[in-house]
Structure 1
Amino acid sequence: MRRLLGLGLGLVLLWAGWWALGAQAVTQGTRALFASDARLHAPQSVDVAGFPARFDLTVKEVAFSDPRRGTGWRTPVVQLSAPSWQPWHLSATLPARQEMDLPGQTVSIAAQALGGSLVLKPGPALALNRVAASAEALDLRSTLGWDLGINTARLTTRQVEGDATRHAITLDLAGLATGGWLARAATKATLPPDVAEIALRAVAGFSAPLDRHAGNSRPALRSLVVQDSRIRWGTMTLAAAGEIAVDATGRPEGRIDLGLTNWREALQAAVALGLVTPEAAPTWERMLAMFAASSGGERLDLPLVMAGGRMSLGPLPLGPVPRIAQRQ
C-alpha cells in the first residue's frame, strides 16, 4: 500500500512539475510573441491558470496597430485554453466588444457569442492544422456611417493533406442586415435591406507554411482557387468560381467566372452605391443586355480576367488590377 501511495504521490508531483513548466513556457512564449513584433503593443497582464487539467491563458488589453497601412485591432481581453495533455489544441473566447481600425475608419464590433478553436500539428514547427471561428448576433458599426448586423458567421480553415502551404477555407454568413447608408442604398436599388447569404469555398496557397516560423518566413498569398461561392440578396444571386495566382509583388493573374441572375437589379445597386454614375448607367445596361442575351436575358455570365497587370470583365476593361499587400 505504501508503495502504491508513494507511486501515486510521485506521479502527482511529476504532473505538477510538468504543469508548472508548461505554464512558465506559455507565459514566456506569449510575452516573447508580443515583444517580437512592433505592431503588437505590450499587454497589461499575462496570466496562466487551470491547474491541473488545463492551461488557461488570459491576456488583458491586447492591441495591434499598423500605422503604415492604417489598420489595427483592440480588445480588453483574450482568453485561450488548452488541455494540459494536449496543449496544441486551443480554444479561444473573445469579449462582447472590440474595435478594428481600417483605412479611414474605425469599426466597433459587438457580438453575443464570439470564439473559436485552433489546432496545431504536434512537432517542432507547430504547423497550423485547422481553425474554426463563429459569432452570433454580430454587429459592426463604422465611423463612416454604415452598420451591418450578421445573425450567424462561421469560418473554418484546414490544412490540405500533404501540403503545409495550402489551406481549404469555408466562410458562411447568414442574415446580413444593413443599416445607415448601406440600407438607404439598398432601398434606392429596390433591394431588401437584408442579404440572405454569403458563402465562400476556396483553397488558399501561401509562400511558406503557417507555423511558428511565420514571423521570419512571412507567408504571403500565392494562389486562390474559388469553388462554389455565392451571394444571395433578394432575387439577385452572384456565383463565382475560378483560380488566380499571385506573384512576389502581389500582382494577381487568372480568371474568375461570374454568374449573375437578375443583373438589372445589380446594376441599380451599383448606381445606388456610387459604383456606376447615373449618366453611365444606360450605356452599361445596353452592353450587359447584349452579353446576357445568349442566356435568356436574365442571367449574365462573364469572366473576370486579370492578366498583364490589367483587369477586365468580359470584353469590358476595368483598369489596373489591384495588388494584394505583401508582408514586409
Structure 2
Amino acid sequence: MLIAILVAAGLWAGYWVIGAQGVKSGYSDWFDARRADGWSADYSDLALHGFPNRFDTTFTDLALADPETGWAWQAPFFQVFRLSYKPNHVIAIWPDQQLIATPGDKFDVSSAKMQASLITEPHSNLTLSRANLVADTLQIARRGHDATTMTALHMAAQKQEGETALYRIALAADDLAPSSRFRKMVDRSGGLPHTLSAFSADVQIGFDRPWDLSAIEDSRPQPRRIDVKLAEAKWGDLELALAGELQVDEEGRPKGRLTVKARNWREMLDMAVASEAISRGFADQLAGGLNLIAGMAGNPKTLDIPLDFRRDLVFLGPVPIGEAPVLRLR
C-alpha cells in the first residue's frame, strides 16, 4: 500500500511539473504571438505556483495594447488560477489599481477587490460557458477628472443551452455615485441624492459568433439580437426603465422596438440639455409631444412610450427624433 501511494504521488507530481511547464510555455507563446501581430505585450515576470492541485500564474507589470483597435490595459500584476484537474475552470484576480485606455480616453480603475470566475467549454478555444465578476468599492475615473464610484458591481454571463452564441447577461451596481463633474453638469439645483437607489440590467444578446480567445486576439463578436428583459435606473425621484427587442444588421444598425417608462421625465430632459446631449430647442419641441402623450395616459409626470428603430432612425410614434446608434464592439 505504501509503495502504491508513493508511486501515485510521484506520478501526480510529475503530471503537475509537466503541466506547469506547458501552462507557462503556453502563456509565453501567446505573448510572442501578440507581439508578432503588432501588439505591445509585455510583463516583467511570470511566476507559476500552486502545487499540487492548481496552476496559479502571476504576471507582474503587465501591459497589453492593440494599436489596431486603440484598446490598452496596464496592471502592476494579474493572477490566473486554474485547477490542475479541471483546467476549464479559471479564477482571475485583478490588482487594486489598473489603467484602461479606450480609443477615446484613458481611465484609472481602483477597487478593494475585483475577481471573476470563468468556466469554458471543454475541448474548445476557451469558449465562454459562464462567468461571474464581483468588484468591491469600485472607482472609475477618467484621466484628469474625479471618479464615478459604487460600493459593489456584480455581473454574470451564461451561454444559453443549445445555442452557439446566445448569452444571458445580468448587471447590478450598488450605491452608484456619479462623478461630481457629471453631477454639477446635470443637477445644477443640487436636489438629487448622492447615489442612485437602483442601477441594473437583465439582457439576452445573440452574437455572430461565440466569445472565446479569438475575441481578444482578433476581433470582438458583434451583437445580432438584443432582448432587453429589463434595464432600470432610479436616482431620487427620477426613474427610467427599458424593455424590448432589437435586431442588429451587419453594419450595427438596430431595428425593432424598445418601450421606455420614465417618471419625472421633464427633469430628465433638462438634464439631457445640461449635459449637452440635446439642444434646448429640440428639448422644447420634444417636451410638447411628450406632454400630450403623458396627459393622455392620465399621469403627466410619467411616460410609457415605444421607441421604434427603423431606417437608421429612432421614431417616437410616426415622428423621427434622431439617428439610431451604431451597435458595434471595437
In the superposition, the TM-score normalised over structure 1's length comes to 0.90
Name 1:177's counterpart in structure 2: 177
Q: Which residue among 295, 311, 314 is the counterpart of 2:314?
A: 311
Q: Secondary structure at the match of 1:291?
A: helix
Contact 1:35 1:42 (C-alpha < 8 Å) held by counterparts? no
Residue deviations 1:171-197 (CA, integer Å, cap 9, x gap): 001211122321212431643332222
Equivalent residue letter for 1:31? S
Contact 1:166 1:205 (C-alpha < 8 Å) held by counterparts? yes
Residue deviations 1:298-327 (CA, integer Å, cap 9, x gap): 211222222222223444423332323356
Change in Cα spacing, 1:212 to 1:181, as seen in structure 2 (3 Å) is closer
Contact 1:75 1:95 (C-alpha < 8 Å) held by counterparts? yes
Change in Cα spacing, 1:42 to 1:303, as seen in structure 2 (3 Å) is same
Name 1:72's counterpart in structure 2: 72
Change in Cα spacing, 1:29 to 1:198, as seen in structure 2 (3 Å) is same
Name 2:7's counterpart in structure 1: 10
Find the aligned partners of 2:25 and 2:324 in 1 and give their Cα distance. 43
Displacement after TM superposition at 1:138 (Å): 0.8
Find the aligned partners of 1:253 and 1:51 in 2 and give their Cα distance. 53
Q: Which residue among 15, 21, 27 is the counterpart of 1:24?
A: 21
Find the aligned partners of 1:146 and 1:287 in 2 and give their Cα distance. 37
Residue deviations 1:152-179 (CA, integer Å, cap 9, x gap): 1000001101113111100001211122
1:120 counterpart = 2:117:
no
Change in Cα spacing, 1:321 to 1:69, as seen in structure 2 (3 Å) is farther
Find the aligned partners of 2:128 and 2:195 in 1 and give their Cα distance. 35
Q: Secondary structure at the match of 1:284?
A: helix
Name 1:252's counterpart in structure 2: 254
Change in Cα spacing, 1:164 to 1:263, as seen in structure 2 (3 Å) is same
Find the aligned partners of 2:178 and 2:213 in 1 and give their Cα distance. 39
Name 1:53's counterpart in structure 2: 53
> Which residues in structure 2 correspond to 1:232-247 (within 5 Å)?
232-247=234-249
Name 1:197's counterpart in structure 2: 198
Contact 2:223 2:328 (C-alpha < 8 Å) held by counterparts? no
Point out where structure 1 has 5 or more consecutive residues left out of the alignment: none
Residue deviations 1:229-261 (CA, integer Å, cap 9, x gap): 211111111111111122222222222111111
Q: Which residue among 267, 270, 273 is the counterpart of 1:268?
A: 270
Equivalent residue letter for 2:164? A
Change in Cα spacing, 1:66 to 1:251, as seen in structure 2 (3 Å) is farther
Find the aligned partners of 2:129 and 2:40 in 1 and give their Cα distance. 24
Find the aligned partners of 2:63 and 2:41 in 1 and give their Cα distance. 5
Contact 1:246 1:253 (C-alpha < 8 Å) held by counterparts? yes
Contact 2:186 2:272 (C-alpha < 8 Å) held by counterparts? no
Name 1:188's counterpart in structure 2: 188
Name 2:97's counterpart in structure 1: 97
Change in Cα spacing, 1:206 to 1:32, as seen in structure 2 (3 Å) is farther
Contact 1:250 1:326 (C-alpha < 8 Å) held by counterparts? no
Displacement after TM superposition at 1:57 (Å): 0.8
In the alignment of these two chains, the number of paired residues is 324
Equivalent residue letter for 1:202? V
> Which residues in structure 2 correspond to 1:104-183 (within 5 Å)?
104-143=104-143, 145-183=145-183
Change in Cα spacing, 1:313 to 1:78, as seen in structure 2 (3 Å) is farther
Find the aligned partners of 2:277 and 2:146 in 1 and give their Cα distance. 16
Find the aligned partners of 1:114 and 1:216 in 2 and give their Cα distance. 26
Equivalent residue letter for 2:154? R
> Which residues in structure 2 correspond to 1:210-225 (within 5 Å)?
210-212=211-213, 215=217, 219-225=221-227
Find the aligned partners of 1:46 and 1:61 in 2 and give their Cα distance. 10
Find the aligned partners of 1:272 and 1:254 in 2 and give their Cα distance. 29
Change in Cα spacing, 1:291 to 1:211, as seen in structure 2 (3 Å) is same
Point out where structure 2 has 5 or more consecutive residues left out of the alignment: none
Name 2:305's counterpart in structure 1: 302
Displacement after TM superposition at 1:15 (Å): 0.6
Displacement after TM superposition at 1:146 (Å): 4.6
1:325 counterpart = 2:320:
no
Find the aligned partners of 2:240 and 2:317 in 1 and give their Cα distance. 15
Contact 2:94 2:114 (C-alpha < 8 Å) held by counterparts? yes
Q: Secondary structure at the match of 2:75?
A: strand
Identity %: 30
Change in Cα spacing, 1:64 to 1:221, as seen in structure 2 (3 Å) is farther
Q: Secondary structure at the match of 1:7?
A: helix
RMSD between superposed Cα atoms in Å: 2.2
Deviates more, 1:48-57 or 1:79-88: 79-88
Equivalent residue letter for 1:75? A
